[in-house]
C-alpha cells in the first residue's frame, strides 16, 4: 500500500465526507490484499502463480498500463531528470524488488492473517530507521510508538511459530521474511523523500512498478525453471485479478489523487482498517488461526502506530 509519507506534497486541506469515503474504500481494497495474495500464490492443494511470478506479473502489467495512461493524459509526467535515475532505481530495488521477494516469499510460508498484522507495523519500522539513519529527533510519543510497535510485531511473529497448520508450511520463517520485507520497504520510504518534492505520486509509482518488475523478472524465470509452468486454479486467477485491478490499478490512482487535496496525516488514520479487516477476512475465508498472542501483538502494534501517527510519522502499503 502506498505510504502517505511518499506523497508529501499533499495540499493540507480538511478531510471531507467524500475524501473520507475514498480513503475508506482504498483501505478496504488493500485489506483484502493479504488473503488474495495467499490464494494467488497458491498451495500444494490449490496451485497458484507462486510468489515471484505473482509479484512480477502484478507489477509489470500495472506499470505498463499506468505508463500508457500517463502517456495519454499527461506525457510530461513521464519525464525524469538524469540526476534522478539512480534514485528511481534505488527506490525500485528497495521498495519493489527486495520488498516483494521477501514479502510474497514469506506469505507463501505463513498466513494472510499474520501478514495483515505484521504489515500494519510498517510505520514503526519507518520511524525507527528514520531515527537511526536520518537522525530524526526521538520524541517521547515516537519512542513509545516504536517500543510498542516493535514489541507487538515480535509477538505476532512468534505467535505462529508452530510449523504446519492452516496458515502455511513454515509460519515462523514466513513471518521473519515479511518483517525483513518491511525493513526494505521502510528504506524505500526514506529514499523516496527526495523524489516526492519533484515528481507526482503517479510518476513515482509508475516507474517503481516498471523498474521493480524488471528486477523481479529473474526470480520469476527461476521459479518457472524450478517448478515448471504455473497452472493456477480459478480462485487464484480471481485473486490475481483482484490484486491487479482493485489493489493496484484502482486503489493507487485514487489514493494519490486523494493526497493531492488532503493532508496525508488525515488519510493515514484509515490504515487502521487494514489489519483489522484483513485479519477478519483471513479467519473467515481461509479459516486461518488467530491466537490470543497474535491478538495481543496486534493490539500493541496498533498502539504503536497510533502514537507515531499522532507524532507525525506515517506509512503503510501492500
In a domain, 114, yes or no: yes
What pLDDT sits at residue 184?
92
pTM of the shown model: 0.85
Output the nine-digit C-alpha cell for 301.
502494534
Pick the closest to residue 211 from 68, 82, 41, 67 (CA basis): 67
Residue 102 lies in a domain: yes
pLDDT of residue 215: 98
**4 or 139, greater pLDDT:** 139
Residue 127 within any structural domain of the chain: yes
Would residue 107 count as lying in a domain? Answer: yes
Assess if residue 203 is contained within a domain.
Answer: yes
pLDDT of residue 213: 98
The 10s digit of each residue's pLDDT in 219-228 is 999 999 999 9
pLDDT digits (tens, 9 = 90+) for 247-282: 999 988 888 778 777 766 666 667 777 888 888 888
Question: Does 317 map to a domain?
Answer: no
- Chain segment 93-111, per-residue pLDDT in tens: 999 999 999 999 999 998 8
Q: How many domains does the chain have?
A: 1
Q: Phi and psi (nearest 5°) for 47?
A: -60, 145
Range(s) of the domain holding residue 177: 4-310
Mean pLDDT (the chain, rounded): 84
Torsion of the alpha carbons at 233, 238, 239 and 241, rounded to the nearest 10: 130
Contacts of 260 (CB under 8 A, 6+ apart): 9, 10, 11
Query: Would you say residue 316 lies in a domain?
Result: no
In a domain? residue 315: no
pLDDT category of residue 232 using cuts at 50, 70 and 90: very high
Any idea what DSSP says for residue 77?
A: G
Rounded-to-integer distance, Cα 98 and Cα 100, Å: 6
Amino acid at each position: 500500500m502506498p505510504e502517505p509519507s511518499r506523497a508529501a506534497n499533499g495540499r493540507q486541506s480538511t478531510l471531507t465526507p467524500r475524501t473520507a469515503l475514498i480513503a475508506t474504500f482504498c483501505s478496504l481494497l488493500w485489506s483484502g490484499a493479504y488473503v488474495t495474495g495467499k490464494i494467488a500464490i497458491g498451495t500444494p492443494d490449490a496451485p497458484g502463480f507462486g510468489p515471484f511470478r505473482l509479484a512480477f506479473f502484478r507489477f509489470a502489467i500495472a506499470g505498463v498500463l499506468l505508463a500508457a495512461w500517463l502517456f495519454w493524459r499527461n506525457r510530461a509526467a513521464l519525464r525524469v531528470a538524469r540526476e534522478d535515475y539512480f534514485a528511481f532505481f534505488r527506490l525500485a530495488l528497495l521498495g519493489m524488488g527486495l520488498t516483494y521477494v521477501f514479502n510474497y516469499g514469506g506469505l507463501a510460508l505463513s498466513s494472510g492473517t499474520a501478514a495483515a498484522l505484521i504489515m500494519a507495523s510498517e510505520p514503526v519500522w519507518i520511524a525507527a530507521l528514520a531515527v537511526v539513519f536520518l537522525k530524526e529527533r526521538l520524541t517521547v510519543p515516537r519512542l513509545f510508538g516504536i517500543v510498542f510497535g516493535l514489541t507487538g510485531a515480535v509477538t505476532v511473529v512468534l505467535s505462529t511459530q508452530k510449523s504446519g497448520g492452516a496458515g502455511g508450511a513454515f509460519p515462523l520463517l514466513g513471518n521473519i521474511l515479511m518483517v525483513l520485507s518491511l525493513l526494505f520497504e521502510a528504506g524505500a520510504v526514506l529514499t523516496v523523500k527526495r523524489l516526492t518534492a519533484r515528481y507526482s505520486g503517479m510518476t513515482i509509482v509508475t516507474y517503481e512498478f516498471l523498474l521493480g518488475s524488471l528486477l523481479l523478472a529473474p526470480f520469476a524465470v527461476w521459479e518457472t525453471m524450478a517448478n515448471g509452468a504455473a497452472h493456477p486454479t480459478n480462485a487464484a486467477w480471481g485473486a490475481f485479478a483482484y490484486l491487479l485491478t482493485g489493489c493496484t490499478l484502482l486503489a493507487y490512482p485514487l489514493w494519490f489523487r486523494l493526497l493531492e487535496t488532503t493532508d496525508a496525516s488525515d488519510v493515514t488514520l484509515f490504515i487502521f482498517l487494514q489489519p483489522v479487516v484483513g485479519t477478519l477476512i483471513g479467519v473467515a475465508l481461509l479459516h486461518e488461526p488467530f491466537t490470543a498472542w497474535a491478538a495481543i501483538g496486534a493490539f500493541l502494534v496498533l498502539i504503536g502506530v497510533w502514537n507515531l501517527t499522532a507524532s507525525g510519522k506515517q506509512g503503510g502499503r501492500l
